[in-house]
């Protein structure tokens, strides 16, 4: 049993390290190097080495140091957000006046993560609706194509603008977009096949590439099932902490104090690894069926905390912003644990069920959020509100029932 392999570290050492270096345990893999660097900046005997920079430092040989690596540009990729991209395009000649620019900025505030516009009285107060719509119409010329539309239909029409189609084909596409629910009734149109081919290539939602880029994360734990189930820590994310006291008397009070602090930092990193490794083992033990292709089972923070002899708050901090790489994809560790719904039901189980419902729904009559809510109540016996289902659906990149109906009609 995996449980027999879990050796507990002394609680005294854990508590001392947590008090001194809690940030090390809490930060995600992508933030680890920066966190360690911040904790060691004032320690003259510590050098942080990574795959990008391998150097050795001595306090007396290098009194001052550069805070920016000369090669940093090689590893820095600027990925602007959807809103950065939109804001950079609000300028003449498309938005020639200060008024049109101000309205455009307010419109951007009303655009959700998927790129769709939703009217907000509070944000747009003080502007005439006609003026707002005139400015919003110009978003058809912005990137990403289709952004700022109110619906799937309008999003498609926005995207047609940049295709520069001939008049007849443009008109046919618009007719079909306006009648997605009954699109097959227009097969008699001369350019029907060409128009359908174009419509199928249009994207939904308009900001889909930005949704995708936000999912790029670095896992802390790796699960391999090629030859049984193996748990490992992603060592590549851990910087090497080098304590350099060459030629220095470590008995000096100044030196001894900083060396002690440096060793605590090394201990904190090792504790982080050990804690996450133990959590990985426990997840595999509790979720064995999931790694073999089954569903995620209910799992409470308290259960794993009791098994490891730690508090639930410590485990909660340890899994925050952490990800696990599995044969079924990279997912947040917290997805395995129940939160807010019920001690026996996990969010991941609910989301998985929603995904399955939509996957197997009647395409002629897609399930509404209210219908999904009722099915969840029947299966899990939990009380939820419709807006929670809507939130889950959006997090899974599942369109609304009316939008899915239109998409099914096209497909």
Q: DSSP secondary structure string, 138-170?
A: GGGGSSSTTTT-SSHHHHHHHHHHTT---HHHH
pLDDT band at 19 (very low <50, low <70, confident <90, very high): low
Domain boundary among 197, 212, 227: 212
Average pLDDT over residues 182-196: 92
Report the share of the chain in percent with pLDDT over 90: 20
Identify whether residues 208 and 222 lie together within a single domain: no
Identify whether residues 97 and 193 lie together within a single domain: yes
CATH number at residue 357: 1.10.10
pLDDT band at 106 (very low <50, low <70, confident <90, very high): very high
Q: Please indicate, yes or no, if residue 115 is contained in any of the structural domains.
A: yes
More confidently predicted of 343 and 54: 343
Is the pLDDT at 8 greater than 50? The verdict is no
User: 221, 276 in Cβ contact below 8 A?
Assistant: yes
Identify whether residues 23 and 142 lie together within a single domain: no
pTM: predicted TM-score of the whole model, two decimal places: 0.45
What pLDDT is recorded for position 177? 93
Q: How far is CA 188 from CA 177, 192, 193, 408, in A?
A: 16, 7, 10, 20
Domain boundary among 192, 212, 232: 212
Q: Please indicate, yes or no, if residue 8 is contained in any of the structural domains.
A: yes
More confidently predicted of 321 and 405: 405
- Pick the closest to residue 31 from 238, 222, 240 (CA basis): 238
Is the pLDDT at 323 greater than 80? The verdict is yes
- Pick the closest to residue 69 from 43, 44, 47 (CA basis): 47
pLDDT band at 95 (very low <50, low <70, confident <90, very high): very high
Identify whether residues 86 and 204 lie together within a single domain: yes
More confidently predicted of 138 and 351: 138
- Pick the closest to residue 180 from 208, 160, 158, 151 (CA basis): 151
Write out the two tokens for 74. Answer: 């090689």
- Positive or negative CA dihedral for 223, 225, 228, 234? negative
Q: Please indicate, yes or no, if residue 72 is contained in any of the structural domains.
A: no
Give the C-alpha separation, 48 to 239, whole Å.
Answer: 6
Average pLDDT over residues 45-74: 41
Identify whether residues 173 and 90 lie together within a single domain: yes
What pLDDT is recorded for position 290? 78
Identify whether residues 94 and 207 lie together within a single domain: yes
Find residue 342's DSSP bridge partners: 345
Q: Please indicate, yes or no, if residue 315 is contained in any of the structural domains.
A: yes
- Close Cβ partners of 124 (under 8 Å, ≥ 6 residues apart): 106, 107, 110, 132
Domains contained in the chain, number? 3
Identify whether residues 330 and 358 lie together within a single domain: no
- Close Cβ partners of 396 (under 8 Å, ≥ 6 residues apart): 351, 354, 355
Q: What is the pLDDT of residues 206-224, one digit of tens each?
A: 887 776 544 467 889 999 8
Q: Please indicate, yes or no, if residue 77 is contained in any of the structural domains.
A: no
Write out the two tokens for 199. Answer: 């419509």
Please state, rounded to an integer, the average pLDDT across all residues of the chain. 77
More confidently predicted of 67 and 333: 333
Identify whether residues 108 and 200 lie together within a single domain: yes
Give the orientation angle of helix 369-380 with respect to helix 347-359, to 10 degrees.
120
Count helices and strands in the chain by DSSP H and E runs: 18, 6
Query: Within 13 Å, how many C-alpha atoms sit on residue 19's CB side?
Result: 5
Domain boundary among 303, 335, 367: 335
Full residue range of the structural domain in which residue 116 is found = 82-212
Backbone angles phi, psi at 129, to 5 degrees: -60, -40
Tally of residues, the chain = 411
Q: What is the pLDDT of residues 147-178, one digit of tens each?
A: 999 988 899 999 998 787 888 999 999 999 99
- Pick the closest to residue 317 from 36, 27, 39 (CA basis): 27
Identify whether residues 242 and 177 lie together within a single domain: no
Give the C-alpha separation, 115 to 93, whole Å.
Answer: 23
Write out the two tokens for 335. Answer: 């997805």
Is the pLDDT at 101 greater than 50? The verdict is yes
What pLDDT is recorded for position 308? 79
Identify whether residues 137 and 177 lie together within a single domain: yes
Identify whether residues 95 and 21 lie together within a single domain: no
Q: Please indicate, yes or no, if residue 286 is contained in any of the structural domains.
A: yes
What pLDDT is recorded for position 104? 94
Q: Please indicate, yes or no, if residue 121 is contained in any of the structural domains.
A: yes
**3-state class (DSSP) for residue 37:** helix
Write out the two tokens for 313. Answer: 């708050």
More confidently predicted of 187 and 70: 187
Q: Which residue has the tokens 């289709």?
A: 146
Q: How does strand 329-332 pair with strand 46-49?
A: unpaired
Q: Please indicate, yes or no, if residue 73 is contained in any of the structural domains.
A: no
Identify whether residues 369 and 248 lie together within a single domain: no
Q: What is the pLDDT of residues 369-386, one digit of tens each?
A: 889 988 888 887 766 767
Find residue 323's DSSP bridge partners: 332
Q: What is the pLDDT of residues 282-306, one digit of tens each?
A: 888 888 877 777 767 767 777 788 8
Report the share of the chain in percent with pLDDT over 70: 78
């Amino acid at each position: 049993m995996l449980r027999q392999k879990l050796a507990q570290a002394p609680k005294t050492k854990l508590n001392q390290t947590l008090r001194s270096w809690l940030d090390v345990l809490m930060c995600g893999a992508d933030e680890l190097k920066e966190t360690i660097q911040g904790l060691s900046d004032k320690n003259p005997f510590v050098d942080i080495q990574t795959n990008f920079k391998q150097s050795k430092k001595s306090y007396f040989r290098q009194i001052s140091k550069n805070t920016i690596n000369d090669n940093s540009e090689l590893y820095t990729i600027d990925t602007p957000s959807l809103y950065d991209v939109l804001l950079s395009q609000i300028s003449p000649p498309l938005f020639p006046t200060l008024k049109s620019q101000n309205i455009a900025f307010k419109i951007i505030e009303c655009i959700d993560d998927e790129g769709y516009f939703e009217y907000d009285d509070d944000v747009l107060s003080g502007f005439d609706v006609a003026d707002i719509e005139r400015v919003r119409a110009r978003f058809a010329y912005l990137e990403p194509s289709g952004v700022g539309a109110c619906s799937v239909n309008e999003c498609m029409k926005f995207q047609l603008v940049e295709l520069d189609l001939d008049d007849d084909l443009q008109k046919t596409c618009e007719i079909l977009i306006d009648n997605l629910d009954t699109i097959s009734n227009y097969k008699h149109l001369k350019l029907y096949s060409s128009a359908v081919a174009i419509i199928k290539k249009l994207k939904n939602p308009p900001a889909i590439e930005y949704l995708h880029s936000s999912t790029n994360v670095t896992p802390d734990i790796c699960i391999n099932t090629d030859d049984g189930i193996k748990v490992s820590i992603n060592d590549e994310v851990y910087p090497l902490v080098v304590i350099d006291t060459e030629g220095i008397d470590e008995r000096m009070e100044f030196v001894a104090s900083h060396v002690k602090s440096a060793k605590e930092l090394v201990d904190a990193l090792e504790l982080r690894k050990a804690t996450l490794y133990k959590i990985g083992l426990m997840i595999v033990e509790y979720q064995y069926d999931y790694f073999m292709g089954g569903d995620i089972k209910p799992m409470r923070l308290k259960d794993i905390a009791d098994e490891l002899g730690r508090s639930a708050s410590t485990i909660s901090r340890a899994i925050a912003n952490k990800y696990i790489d599995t044969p079924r994809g990279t997912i947040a560790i917290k997805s395995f644990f129940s939160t807010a719904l019920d001690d026996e039901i996990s969010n991941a189980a609910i989301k998985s069920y929603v995904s399955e419902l939509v996957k197997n729904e009647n395409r002629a009559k897609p399930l509404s959020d209210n219908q999904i809510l009722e099915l969840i109540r029947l299966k899990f016996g939990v009380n939820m509100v419709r807006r929670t289902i809507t939130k889950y659906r959006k997090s899974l990149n599942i369109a609304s029932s009316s939008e899915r109906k239109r998409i099914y009609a096209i497909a």
